[in-house]
Structure 1
Amino acid sequence: MQRICVIGGSRYFGKLLVQNLLAAGHHVTVINRGSTPPPPGVEHLVADRDDETALTTALGSRTFDVVVDQVCYTPVQAAIAARAFRDRTARYVMTSTIEVYDPATAALPAVPHGTPVPEGIVDPATWLVRTDLPWHDAAYLEAHYAEGKRQAEAVFTRDAGFAFASVRSAHVLGGGVREFTGRLAHYIERIGHGTEIAVHAGVLPTVFIHYEELADLLLWATTATDFTGPVNACSDELLDVHALAGVIAAQTGREPLYRTVAAGEPASPFSFDRHYAMSNARAKELGFSFSRTTDWLPGAVTEALTAPVTPATPATPAT
């Protein structure tokens, strides 16, 4: 049994992670602002992670074997957590995102066309940190989500007094009420109603992961291995927007209709005109086995077709 603290963990794959940790026999503590209580058997600490005094007060004299941070979005939040947990844990795991590799948000090293990028393309040990930027402003943070994650990883990598690992998640999907980003629902609704889907002329593939598989990988990263540094989390098999829509079409019996947008114009989620896929080779080398996207995607579509969804803006990050 390990003593594990989860910051966040109140929805989607974070909620499932908490349940899985508890089922595996670990002592689990959840920290959030109190709006969502954890399941029975989980210790609940109420604190705003942005308030360093409140966070350290809530922690008291507690120590943990591992901390899993589900809701760190800025270098300022990372710096607060690094100080708060410096003498309280030996290991810290942060949920990060594929968006750190988006070439539209940063000048990144070039890779051969069509090559899924490895973790080293974004090295947190050398990434510039700017805590003086307006990270407290919600609009700024939304517009700079990827950069906030990159800089948060950098703070933990360079300034923390514990072993640090980040899990860079692919685009997360899962049907029904769990698919809270609304992205899968966007396609199901448009295909079902015969509404055009806006796509780029030369769409490129990306990578996905089911929310259950991501929860499994986070459990593995927390309890079954001691790797440090970033690791990419994505199911095997790349899909472009046409392949994704094709799976939905097979489930609904309706063919998708497309409208091609000009370069630079917005398109539907998962329509990418830039290389935006990552390699899961490191996670496999460390011992994690992934499913194939097309093994679980039809079931996720079926679940979304038969259960209500919680809609959200398609740009809402899935991690």
Structure 2
Amino acid sequence: MQLPVPRGEVVRILVLGGSWFVGRTLVESAVARGHDVTVYNRGRSPAALPDGVRHVKGDRESAADLKSLLQEGPWDAAVDVSGSVPAVVGRSAELLAPATGHYTFVSTISAYRDWPHAPVDEDSPLWDGYPDLDPVTRQWDPDAYGPLKVGCEMACERAFGKERLLILRPHVVLGPREYVGRLQWWLTRIHRGGDILVPAPDRGIQPVDVRDLSLFLLERVENLDNGVYNVAPKMGEATFGDMLNACADAVGVTNWPIIFVWVDEDWLTSRGVTEWTELPLWRNAAAPWSMRTDRAHAAGLRCRPLTRTVADTWAWLRRGGRPVEHERFSEHGINPAREQMLLKRWLTEHPQS
């Protein structure tokens, strides 16, 4: 049953998640726009929610907890920013469907089978997904992440149908409160100064600011939009070099001796440098930053310059901001001794670099 919600007048929003990164930013934006927000999560994050937000603590893997949540409804819209296990997402979506008019699931670029080896748009082939799959383990697995998210998308569609479902597939999301630590690592590394091992200055890059993703999501929800949108800046607007120079500007490295040593990507790969983690946001593939986003931009997506995302993230860190603790944070960044060893070897082999 679809609740009779007039288009453009969404006022009651349920957020599944809501205290970390995308979810927290989304909640703050929704409150600022005058919405009545309920957050449902386990309450394990120390971050305080904005005033006026109704916080319901519970585990979405518990049927009893979900049934208790239903007593807080109905809602005009629900947004799932945290789901990654198809069977769990499916059970919660099915329970919420009678009490929720519209559903948004935040997916990922990793849902595309061809990424990062070919450009992708919303119609590109996806990984095989299974809406009833439960892998049992909850440990992060980068190889399983994309297929699991596809299964979650399928589970949401089964519960809500296409007419009541919005799916967003963002590229990498950066900005204040980022808990994976990709941009934060580059900022702190550049702040430390010295010779810095960096790849591919001219390779395009298109991470989306968490605030731009959240605003676009809310605007689409307010219009009860459906379908699928890739969410990222347009291709070609910034390069890896632009991002690192913005980091240098943000941290004020004019007071430190700093040299970016641009190293050939194939050379890095041949030396066993782990893509995407040892040098965050770098991947030696044909199209890691080739997400086509015309549909979202035509619908109103507005992306601030990457320089602002970088500067605002550094300002947040300098104010004492700290992300929630997460197992993936420690994966990112190359060991200083290993970095210096690679730099020495590269400069010995390429004395003119």
TM-score, length of structure 2 as denominator length: 0.74
The letter of the residue matching 1:261 is L
User: SS state of the match for residue 146, structure 1?
Assistant: helix
Pair 1:279–1:196, CA change in 2 (3 A) = same
Cα 1:238/1:133, change in 2 over 3 Å: farther
**Residue deviations 1:235-272, cap 9 Å, x none?**
23454433322222344233323454125641311111
Mean Cα deviation higher: 299-308 or 30-39: 299-308
2:168 and 2:211 mapped to 1: Cα distance? Answer: 15
Residue 77 of structure 2 is matched in structure 1 by 66
Matched, 1:118 2:121: yes
Structure 2: distance between partners of 1:249 and 1:140: 32
- 1:20 and 2:29 equivalent? yes
Match of 2:66 in 1: 55
The answer for the alignment partner of 1:262 in structure 2 is 269
Instruction: Sort the Cα spacing of 1:98 and 1:255 in 2 relative to 1 into closer, same or farther, 3 A.
Output: farther
> Aligned residue for 1:45?
56
Is 1:160 the counterpart of 2:177 in the alignment? no
Match of 1:83 in 2: 94
SS at match of 1:257: strand
Task: Give the Å deviation of 1:64.
Answer: 1.0
Q: Which amino acid aligns with 1:151?
A: G
TM-fit CA distance, 1:221: 2.1
Structure 2 CA distance for aligned equivalents of residues 239 and 77 of structure 1: 38
Give yes or no for contact 2:39–2:53 (8 Å, CA) kept in 1.
yes
Q: How far apart are residue 39 of structure 1 and its match?
A: 2.6
Please name the residue that 2:228 is paired with. 230
Q: Any conservation in 1 of the 2:175–2:310 contact (CA below 8 Å)?
A: no
Deviation, 1:19, is: 2.0
User: Are residues 132 and 30 of structure 1, via their aligned partners in 2, closer, same or farther at CA, if it must alter by over 3 Å?
Assistant: closer
Question: Within 2, Cα distance between the matches of 1:244 and 1:140?
Answer: 27
Q: Which is further off, 267-276 or 93-102?
A: 93-102
Q: What code does the residue aligned with 1:52 have?
A: A
Q: Please tell me the residue identity of whatever aligns with 1:149.
A: K
Note the 1:171-182 alignment, pairs <5 A: 171-175=172-176, 178-182=177-181
SS of alignment partner, residue 205 of structure 1:
coil
Q: 2:18 maps to what in 1?
A: 9
**How large is the Cα RMSD of the aligned pairs?**
3.0
254-263 vs 75-84, which moves further: 254-263
Aligned to 2:318: 306
- CA separation in 2, counterparts of 1:258 and 1:42? 47
Instruction: Provide the rounded CA distance (Å) in 2 between the counterparts of 1:233 and 1:165.
Output: 12
CA distance in 2, matches of 1:8, 1:155: 18
Structure 2 unmatched runs, 5+ = 1-9, 334-353
Give the Cα separation in 1 of the matches to 2:209 and 2:233: 8
Question: Percent identity among equivalent residues?
Answer: 24
Query: How much has 1:131 moved relative to structure 2?
Result: 3.3
User: Equivalents in 2 of 1:128, 1:301: separation in Å?
Assistant: 35
Query: Does residue 287 of structure 1 match 2:287?
Result: no
Contact in 2 for aligned 1:93/1:221 (Cα 8 Å): no
Provide closer, same or farther for how the CA distance between residues 74 and 299 of structure 1 changes in structure 2, counting only shifts above 3 A: same
Per-residue displacement from partner, 1:127-180 (whole Å, max 9, x unpaired)?
43163452x3133645422221122112212443561111112222224xx233
- Residues 239 and 77 of structure 1: is their aligned pair in 2 closer, same or farther, counting only changes over 3 Å? farther
8 Å contact from structure 2 (residues 28, 50) kept in 1: yes
Q: How many residues align?
A: 300
Deviation per residue, 1:15-45 (Å, 9 max, x gap): 1221222222222111111335533312221
Residue number in structure 2 paired with 1:129? 130
Paired amino acid for 2:247:
I
CA contact (8 A) 1:205 1:272 kept: no
Q: Distance in 1 between matches of 2:37 and 2:160?
A: 22
Aligned CA distance change for structure 1 residues 197 and 50 (closer, same or farther; 3 Å): farther
In structure 1, give the amino acid aligned to 2:269.
A
For 1:78, what is the secondary structure of its paired residue?
Answer: helix
Which residue of 2 is the match for residue 185 of structure 1?
A: 184
User: TM-score scaled by structure 1?
Assistant: 0.81
